[in-house]
């Protein structure tokens, strides 16, 4: 759709060929860029589930006429426009039950009870940090809606966030409008959801849990900020099933992961945000969309050599179709996350290992057979066009030579392009030896970090109005 | 008596203004039509057949294959798409078929 939009912007008529299930999202994408009624040619069903005969018959009998019509016939401007409220209008009134039912009916809620966002509540939420409520941080690349302090605060009130969390939410909004992150992909069909990671000295002051149950609900800072993200994606970025969200399954909101800063300081490792140019004195949120997660349970061993193969096995097991972000949908953008419980991190540092030592060892051990890699990105998913072998891809310079050291299909190849692609965080119960791994969605919510500015804003000099 | 609340809108105004679509062409005959592909969902099977069908109906259409512009998705998507208006204009493209959205 984005290519069609680029063509239309140049005054060149376009038609987009889409599968039947993508029609609503295609229309919403056009609308989000200001182009209502972008012409579509619709393939019945989904091409990946069809024989070549069925697919091409559908093309000839259904879609070709629509391609021609889309390029040669006048186009209506899409749905009739409805007047939308302004930010300060009363959008609904009623008891708390009535407000919640209204918000669910209008698609403004995640289904759990929300705190009614009255104007007073929102103003008070913003007042503590003195930000200008109408400051526009950017434009949502999916919906074309303004990302403002006000809308951040409205959804924060709904989610149950504390006013002290507003700087964290602003930093997250800045990530969402950063083109590197790619928020417009947040509704892709594979349905990844973002994981927010916070580190830095303020994470404890702000009430984040980094210890036992680090990814469990029960701690308001971790839980409500994770919830805010989903609400904000829904209401401002338009990720609802009627607009941009095409998740086949999806996940509920992820609880924010806070790193264990005390352990990191004790063992001499930098937090995750150091991978993005920050250091342990900075307050940072980092975000990436994660596909799958898995527990590496009861890691047994008292030396790095004993525990590393199991951790590497977990990373290899979690890596499936997502390997298309090594090359295919992405390029060198597969960057899985390993979360080590503090005891496991200490096992490495007690033996003198740095984070880079761990990454280098994971690069050697987290490997899968070449035939499996090729099937995952080719035959089984068709996500890397052309069904090229790793040897072909290495010859073309798309993957490093380590993927093509022989032509033996049983040779073991890495799951990332270089050791730095392994992200490592430290959190969780300090008395147990478990780990957690996540696969990431490459450029569709790419790792992006942003500092949290907790200083009083200089924005607000004359009140809300 | 239960409290009632007047609440504000959780969405945000559209910062992007509506724009008109490009004028359509009167016929594909004599026109240069570019295929653009995101290298997903069997476009490599679909585009050759689409080309055949269009040429049958419009013998004077000129098709510019998807390999001319390259992958519209993936790592370089933003740069690629940003460069499309100039790229299409410089190649005198009259119309575009973009695929596959699935």
* Dist CA A354 CA A357 (whole Å): 5
Is A53 within a domain? yes
Section A184-194 average pLDDT: 95
Mean pLDDT by 10 residues, chain B (102 residues): 94 93 96 95 95 97 94 84 94 96 90
pLDDT above 90: residue A298: yes
Say how many CB pairs under 8 Å bridge A and B: 272
Contact B8 A383 (CB under 8 A): no
Query: Quick check: bond before B100 cis, omega within 30?
Result: yes
Residue A462 clears pLDDT 80, i.e. is over it: no
Q: What's the confidence (pLDDT) of residue A80?
A: 59
Residue A47 has pLDDT above 90, yes or no: yes
Looking at the domain assignment, is residue A139 inside a domain?
no
Closest residue to B12, CB basis, from A99, A151, A330: A151
Contacts of A3 (CB under 8 A, 6+ apart): A14, B36, B38, B72, B81, B84, B96, B98
Q: How many CA atoms lie within 13 A of A90 on its CB side?
A: 8
Query: Taking residues A199-203, what's their average pLDDT?
Result: 92
Identify each DSSP E strand in A105-225 by its residue range. Answer: 136-139, 146-148, 193-199
- Kindly report whether the peptide bond that precedes residue A273 is cis, defined as omega within 30 degrees of 0: no
- pTM exceeds 0.90, yes or no: yes
Inter-chain touch A12–B11, beta carbons under 8 Å:
no
Q: Does the interface predicted TM-score (ipTM) exceed 0.90?
A: yes
Summarised one tens digit per residue, pLDDT across range A205-246 is 899 999 999 999 999 999 999 999 999 999 999 999 999 999
Residues A71-89 pLDDT 10s: 999 887 655 567 899 999 9
From the CA of A367, how many Å to the nearest CA of chain B?
24
Share of chain B above pLDDT 90, in %: 81
User: Does the CB of B91 have a partner CB in chain A at under 8 Å?
Assistant: no
| Three-state DSSP state, A151 | helix
Do A47 and B88 count as a contact with CB atoms less than 8 A apart?
no
In tens, the pLDDT along A330-354 reads 999 999 999 999 999 999 999 999 9
- A378 touching B (Cβ < 8 Å): no
Contact A72 B25 (CB under 8 A): yes
Helix (H) or strand (E) holding A136: strand A136-139
Distances (CA, A) of B66 to B46, B59, B87: 11, 20, 13
Residue A60 forms part of a structural domain:
yes
Residues 259-318 of A with CB under 8 A from B: none
Task: Read off the pLDDT of each residue in A250-261 and give the average, rounded to a whole number.
Answer: 95
Predicted pLDDT of residue A463: 37
- Which residues on B lie below 8 Å from A146 (Cβ)? 12-15
* pLDDT greater than 70 at residue A459: no
Closest CA to B69 of B38, B102, B40: B38
DSSP A331: B
> Which of B2, B6, B8, B35 should one mutate to test binding to chain A, selecting the residue with the greatest count of A CBs within 10 A?
B8
User: Minimal Cα distance from A70: which residue of B?
Assistant: B24
A458: how many CB neighbours lie within 10 A of its CB? 9
Contact check, Cβ <8 Å, A72/B28: yes
* pLDDT value at residue B74: 75
| Residue B5 to residue A13, Cβ atoms within 8 A | no
- Average pLDDT of span A272-298: 96
DSSP state of A270: P
pLDDT of B2 = 87
Contact B101 A26 (CB under 8 A): yes
Query: Percentage of chain A with pLDDT > 70?
Result: 97
Write down the residue that tokens 């393939």 correspond to. A43
Which residues of B are less than 8 Å from A46 in CB distance?
Answer: 102
Give the range among A67-71, A268-272, A451-455 with minimum mean pLDDT.
Answer: A451-455
Residue A7: band (very low, low, confident or very high) from pLDDT cuts 50, 70, 90: very high
B5 touches chain A (CB under 8 A): yes
Compare CB distances from A144 to B14, B20, B97 and report the shortest one's residue. B14
Distance CA A27, CA A13 (A): 16
CA closest to B16 among chain A residues: A144
Domain of A49, in residue numbers: 2-72
Biggest CA pair distance of chain A: 72
Place of tokens 């090729």: A374
Backbone angles phi, psi at A421, to 5 degrees: -75, -10
Query: Of A8, A17, A36, A60, which to mutate for an interface test with B (greatest number of B Cβ within 10 Å)?
Result: A17
CB-nearest to A3 from B24, B75, B84 is: B84
Question: Considering chain A, what is the average pLDDT of its residues?
Answer: 94
Q: Classify residue A185: in a domain, yes or no.
A: no
> CB contact, 8 Å: A62 with chain B?
no
How many structural domains comprise chain A? 1
Among A100, A451, A56, residue whose Cα is nearest residue A286 = A451
Asked if the C-beta of A385 comes within 8 angstroms of chain B's C-beta atoms, the answer is yes
């Amino acid at each position: 759709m984005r290519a069609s939009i680029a063509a239309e912007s140049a005054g060149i008529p376009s038609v987009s060929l889409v599968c039947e299930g993508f029609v609503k999202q295609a229309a919403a994408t056009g609308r989000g860029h200001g182009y209502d009624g972008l012409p579509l040619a619709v393939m019945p069903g989904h091409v990946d589930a069809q024989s070549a005969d069925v697919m091409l018959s559908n093309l000839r009998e259904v879609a070709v006429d629509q391609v021609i019509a889309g390029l040669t016939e006048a186009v209506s401007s899409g749905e009739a426009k409805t007047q939308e409220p302004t930010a300060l209008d009363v959008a609904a009134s009623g008891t708390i039950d009535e407000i919640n039912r209204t918000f669910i009916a209008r698609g403004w809620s995640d289904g759990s009870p929300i705190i009614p966002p009255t104007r007073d509540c929102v103003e008070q939420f913003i007042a503590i940090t003195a930000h200008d409520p109408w400051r526009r941080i950017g434009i949502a690349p999916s919906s074309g809606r303004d990302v403002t302090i006000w809308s951040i605060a409205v959804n924060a009130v709904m989610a149950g966030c504390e006013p002290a969390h507003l700087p964290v939410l602003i930093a997250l909004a800045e990530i969402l409008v950063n083109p590197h992150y790619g928020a417009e992909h947040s509704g892709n069909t594979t349905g990844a959801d973002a994981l927010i990671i916070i580190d830095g000295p303020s994470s404890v002051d702000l009430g984040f849990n980094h210890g036992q149950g680090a990814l469990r609900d029960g701690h308001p800072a971790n839980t409500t900020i994770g919830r805010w993200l989903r609400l904000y994606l829904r209401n401002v970025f338009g990720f609802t099933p009627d607009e941009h969200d095409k998740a086949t399954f999806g996940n509920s909101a992820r609880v924010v992961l806070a790193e264990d800063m005390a352990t990191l300081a004790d063992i001499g490792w930098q937090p995750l945000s150091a991978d993005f140019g920050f250091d342990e004195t900075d307050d940072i949120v980092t975000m990436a969309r994660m596909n799958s997660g898995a527990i590496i349970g009861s890691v047994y061993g008292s030396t790095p050599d004993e525990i590393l193969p199991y951790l590497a096995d977990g990373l290899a097991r979690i890596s499936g179709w997502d390997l298309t972000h090594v090359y295919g949908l992405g390029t060198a953008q597969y960057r899985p996350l390993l979360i080590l419980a503090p005891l496991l991190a200490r096992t490495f540092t007690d033996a003198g290992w740095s984070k880079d030592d761990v990454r280098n060892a994971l690069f050697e051990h987290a490997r899968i057979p070449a035939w499996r890699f090729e099937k995952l990105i080719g035959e089984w998913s068709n996500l890397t066009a052309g069904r090229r072998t790793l040897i072909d891809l290495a010859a073309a310079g798309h993957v490093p030579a380590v993927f093509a050291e022989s032509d033996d299909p049983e040779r073991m190849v890495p799951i990332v392009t270089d050791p730095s692609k392994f992200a490592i965080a430290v959190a969780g119960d300090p008395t147990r030896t478990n780990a957690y791994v996540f696969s990431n969605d490459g450029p569709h919510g790419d790792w992006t970090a942003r500092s949290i500015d907790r200083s009083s804003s200089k924005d607000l000099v004359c009140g809300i109005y | 008596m239960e409290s009632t609340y007047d609440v504000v809108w959780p969405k945000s105004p559209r910062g992007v203004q509506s724009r008109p679509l490009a004028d359509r062409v009167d016929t594909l005959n004599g026109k240069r039509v570019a295929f653009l592909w995101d290298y997903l969902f069997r476009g490599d099977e679909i585009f050759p057949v689409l080309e055949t069908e269009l040429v049958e109906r419009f013998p004077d259409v000129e098709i510019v294959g998807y390999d001319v512009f390259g992958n519209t998705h993936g790592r370089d998507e933003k740069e690629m798409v940003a460069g499309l208006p100039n790229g299409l204009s410089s190649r005198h493209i009259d119309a575009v078929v973009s695929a596959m959205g699935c």
